Chain A
Amino acid sequence: MEILRIKALGHDFGGLRALSGFDLALDEREFVGVIGPNGSGKTTLFNLVSGIYRAATGSISFRGRELVGMSPSSIAHLGITRTFQNIRLFKELTVLDNVRVAKYAAVRYSGLEALLHVGRFRTEERRLTEEAMELLTLFGLDDKAEDPAKNLPYGLQRRLEMARALAASPNVLLLDEPGAGMNPAEIGRLIQLLQWTKEHFPIAIVLIEHHMKMVMELCQRIKVLDFGVTISEGTPMQIRQDPKVIEVYLGKKDYAAVAGRTENTGYGHTADNRPHG
């Protein structure tokens, strides 16, 4: 069953064609990877799908509904959520509240009930707090529930971002370089976490990653971008052998080397966000 269909999607920034002619038909519970060198338009794709930018050309339809022109919060309500390349948690809020924020649309009480703490307010708050705690427990963050998000170590911050993205029970999860700034051991654990997430939640995942190991192990299909253009598409095996893909990563001995390309990438990159010390 197809859940998301992107057709001829394109966007430019003042003459710079960041993405063009992008197509993707995503099935329910499918795991698709998007790779490409720095600045190839991967994050732009997510920004278009999640509604941060309004696509210049093309269409994005989610279960038959056109998303282009919708507000990001409506798109999130419909069932598409995401994480960010450079972690964007609500730093001063507790770990628990970071997740509960994402349940905004799930509460069934009115503004007046909220103002007076009456009616459905208490039972609803209890329900969604329990749900949030369950999610935190699954992600091994329950004992940190009352800590401010900014106090979490880097790896857990990434995990919390994922928990937050899952809190609204989405059908499509967009992950923008969840492995950025992680060492091979951490990557190994992240792969396990993602595998488990996919089994546990009924979601389709689109994964942007520079760590080839992750993409190759997790994704059923991979799309390769270069300068905003899709230059290749196929199974991990096909991608691995595609000369066009190899050419894009020219100068790199193998794909593992690509994994190291996390620093000095210009626009909004993660490596700098890693807390020091």
Chain B
Amino acid sequence: MMKIFRTAIHGQPAGPRRPMLAVIIAGFALSIALPYFGLLNKYVIFVLISVGINVILTISLNLVNGFMGEFSVGHAGFMAVGAYGAAVTSVNVIPRWMGAAAFPTAILAGGLAAALVSLFVAIPSFKTRGDYLAIVTLAFAMIVKSALENMDVLGGPRGFMGMQQFTTLPWVFFWMVLSLWAIRNFVYSAYGRGVLSIREDETASELSGVDTRKVKVLTFALSSFFAGVAGGLYAHLLQFINPSMFDVIKSTEMLIMVYLGGVGSIAGSILGASIYTILMEVLRPMGVWRMVLMPAVLILLMIFRPRGIMGLRELRWFVYKAIPHSGAAAKGQNIGNT
């Protein structure tokens, strides 16, 4: 069991060739086949879809909080922008006869809307450093919620509806893989190293030539894009959204999933979202007491495993190496050794 997990910061020998691709194809096939042959009931499908959406939300927030080490606490705001953006695109922009074919367009519109809005948060917040982002994102989420409540065209507090139920298991699986893949690629690139170095020491990062302002804004926009995508999927799952779905509790749930699964870890994001979502379903009979239990779990986690289950570690399948075995490969002239 422990063998397949390695510290993200350690290198590892290259695994079997493209095992991820096989897993993805198998997963996608299952996501089509299982519902098709009636092997899963509606409830289980709903839970699996929720897991998928939550994985997207978790990796998205983890990028900012775990990988970059900033502290965003109002991620539900971006999810809301994405949900409304996608819903409005679906209902009012895309002609109805296009049906599910235009669904990706609606989701992209939601993601882009969230990314665009995130710039208004990111650009001023990242002018200064420190805990400023937490306050700004919190305020932002509240502003989004009350703005939506006061916009009658969007249904105000009663909400917005009319979307068709396009969010199916295969679609969620597709968007989940896309989100994980894109963010993983980003993390294993020069930008991603910039992101990690900002977490480690922002001043040293800047002095090493990393344009930290640009990296932070880009990262935040990317993160918000995927939060928006998740929102769009959510809107087309429930076929009805209202502002109070995207409240502080929603943002807190995302934080719990990130810190449960593990900061700065892709595998951790998947794990955190899955455990949390399924646990919340299992505990559904507890009613409101769930809301007491989960924060308690979070507190215990913070005490005993503050970085989460997979904190700063990565499943080797997700690690990208520019040169396999680069650690041991180079041998040559050394200086300064005794």
- Is A264 part of the binding interface, using a Cβ–Cβ cutoff of 8 Å? no
Query: How many Å from the CB of A103 to the closest CB on chain B?
Result: 7
User: How far does the alpha carbon of A127 sit from the alpha carbon of B166 in the complex, in Å?
Assistant: 44
- Is A130 part of the binding interface, using a Cβ–Cβ cutoff of 8 Å? yes
User: How far does the alpha carbon of A191 sit from the alpha carbon of B9 in the complex, in Å?
Assistant: 31
**Interface digits, B320-338 against A, CB 8 Å rule (1 contact, 0 not)?**
1011001111111111111
**Interface digits, B197-230 against A, CB 8 Å rule (1 contact, 0 not)?**
1011101111111111100001000100000000
Q: Is the CB of A76 within 8 A of B323?
A: no
- Is B10 part of the binding interface, using a Cβ–Cβ cutoff of 8 Å? yes
Q: Is the CB of B326 within 8 A of A129?
A: yes
Neighbour of B330 across the interface among A101, A145, A167, CB < 8 A:
A145
Query: How many Å from the CB of B175 to the closest CB on chain A?
Result: 15
Across the interface, which residues of B come within 8 angstroms of A250, CB to CB?
none
Which of B157-165, B187-195, B243-251 makes up part of the contact surface? B187-195
Q: Is the CB of B204 within 8 A of A88?
A: yes
**Interface digits, B283-297 against A, CB 8 Å rule (1 contact, 0 not)?**
000000000000000
Q: Is the CB of B11 within 8 A of A89?
A: no
Q: Is the CB of B209 within 8 A of A145?
A: no
User: How far does the alpha carbon of A116 sit from the alpha carbon of B329 in the complex, in Å?
Assistant: 27
User: How far does the alpha carbon of A81 sit from the alpha carbon of B204 in the complex, in Å?
Assistant: 10
User: How far does the alpha carbon of A100 sit from the alpha carbon of B196 in the complex, in Å?
Assistant: 12
- Is B150 part of the binding interface, using a Cβ–Cβ cutoff of 8 Å? no
- Is A55 part of the binding interface, using a Cβ–Cβ cutoff of 8 Å? no
Q: Is the CB of B323 within 8 A of A164?
A: no
Q: Is the CB of A52 within 8 A of B193?
A: no
Across the interface, which residues of B come within 8 angstroms of A142, CB to CB?
330-332, 334
Q: Is the CB of A50 within 8 A of B10?
A: no
Query: How many Å from the CB of A164 to the closest CB on chain B?
Result: 6
- Is B7 part of the binding interface, using a Cβ–Cβ cutoff of 8 Å? yes
Across the interface, which residues of B come within 8 angstroms of A220, CB to CB?
none
- Is B182 part of the binding interface, using a Cβ–Cβ cutoff of 8 Å? yes
Q: Is the CB of B194 within 8 A of A137?
A: no
A101/B197 contact (C-beta < 8 A), A89-B204, A138-B335 known:
yes
User: How far does the alpha carbon of A121 sit from the alpha carbon of B186 in the complex, in Å?
Assistant: 11
A76/B208 contact (C-beta < 8 A), A90-B197, A90-B200, A145-B326 known:
yes
- Is B312 part of the binding interface, using a Cβ–Cβ cutoff of 8 Å? yes
Question: In the complex, which residue of chain B has the Cβ closest to the Cβ of A121?
Answer: B189
Across the interface, which residues of A come within 8 angstroms of B205, CB to CB?
90, 101
User: How far does the alpha carbon of A227 sit from the alpha carbon of B254 in the complex, in Å?
Assistant: 52
A145/B327 contact (C-beta < 8 A), A73-B211, A101-B208, A104-B190 known:
yes
Q: Is the CB of B11 within 8 A of A146?
A: yes
Within A104-145, the residues touching B (CB, 8 Å) are 104-105, 107, 109, 111, 114-117, 121-122, 125-126, 128-130, 133-134, 136-140, 142-143, 145
Which of A34-42, A91-99, A231-239 makes up part of the contact surface? A91-99
- Is B105 part of the binding interface, using a Cβ–Cβ cutoff of 8 Å? no
Q: Is the CB of A100 within 8 A of B193?
A: yes
Q: Is the CB of B330 within 8 A of A96?
A: no
- Is A72 part of the binding interface, using a Cβ–Cβ cutoff of 8 Å? yes
SS of A interface (majority): helix
Q: Is the CB of B9 within 8 A of A143?
A: no
Q: Is the CB of B327 within 8 A of A96?
A: yes
- Is A11 part of the binding interface, using a Cβ–Cβ cutoff of 8 Å? no
Across the interface, which residues of A come within 8 angstroms of B323, CB to CB?
126, 129-130, 133
Q: Is the CB of A137 within 8 A of B334?
A: yes
A137/B200 contact (C-beta < 8 A), A100-B193, A114-B190, A129-B323 known:
no
Q: Is the CB of B334 within 8 A of A138?
A: yes
Q: Is the CB of A133 within 8 A of B209?
A: no
Query: How many Å from the CB of B209 to the closest CB on chain A?
Result: 4
Query: How many Å from the CB of B104 to the closest CB on chain A?
Result: 17
Q: Is the CB of A52 within 8 A of B207?
A: yes
A81/B334 contact (C-beta < 8 A), A90-B200, A115-B182 known:
no
- Is A31 part of the binding interface, using a Cβ–Cβ cutoff of 8 Å? no
Across the interface, which residues of B come within 8 angstroms of A52, CB to CB?
203, 207
Q: Is the CB of A148 within 8 A of B9?
A: yes
User: How far does the alpha carbon of A97 sit from the alpha carbon of B189 in the complex, in Å?
Assistant: 11
Q: Is the CB of A77 within 8 A of B209?
A: yes
Q: Is the CB of A148 within 8 A of B333?
A: no
Query: How many Å from the CB of B9 to the closest CB on chain A?
Result: 4
Q: Is the CB of A114 within 8 A of B207?
A: no
- Is B92 part of the binding interface, using a Cβ–Cβ cutoff of 8 Å? no
A115/B11 contact (C-beta < 8 A), A73-B209, A91-B200 known:
no
Q: Is the CB of A196 within 8 A of B190?
A: no
Neighbour of A111 across the interface among B191, B200, B332, B336, CB < 8 A:
B191
- Is A82 part of the binding interface, using a Cβ–Cβ cutoff of 8 Å? yes
Neighbour of A81 across the interface among B190, B199, B209, CB < 8 A:
B209
- Is B146 part of the binding interface, using a Cβ–Cβ cutoff of 8 Å? no
Question: In the complex, which residue of chain B has the Cβ closest to the Cβ of A118?
Answer: B185
Q: Is the CB of B209 within 8 A of A115?
A: no
Across the interface, which residues of A come within 8 angstroms of B186, CB to CB?
114-115
Sample (12) of A-B pairs whose CB atoms are under 8 Å apart: A50-B207, A73-B210, A81-B207, A81-B208, A90-B204, A115-B182, A133-B329, A138-B333, A138-B335, A145-B11, A145-B326, A193-B336
Additional 4 contacts, C-beta under 8 A, given A81-B207, A93-B193: A104-B190, A104-B211, A147-B10, A165-B208
Give the interface of B toward A (CB within 8 A).
7, 9-11, 182, 185-186, 188-194, 196-197, 199-201, 203-213, 218, 222, 312, 320, 322-323, 326-338
Give the interface of A toward B (CB within 8 A).
50-52, 71-73, 76-77, 81-82, 84, 88-94, 96-97, 100-105, 107, 109, 111, 114-117, 121-122, 125-126, 128-130, 133-134, 136-140, 142-143, 145-148, 159, 164-165, 167-168, 189, 192-193, 196
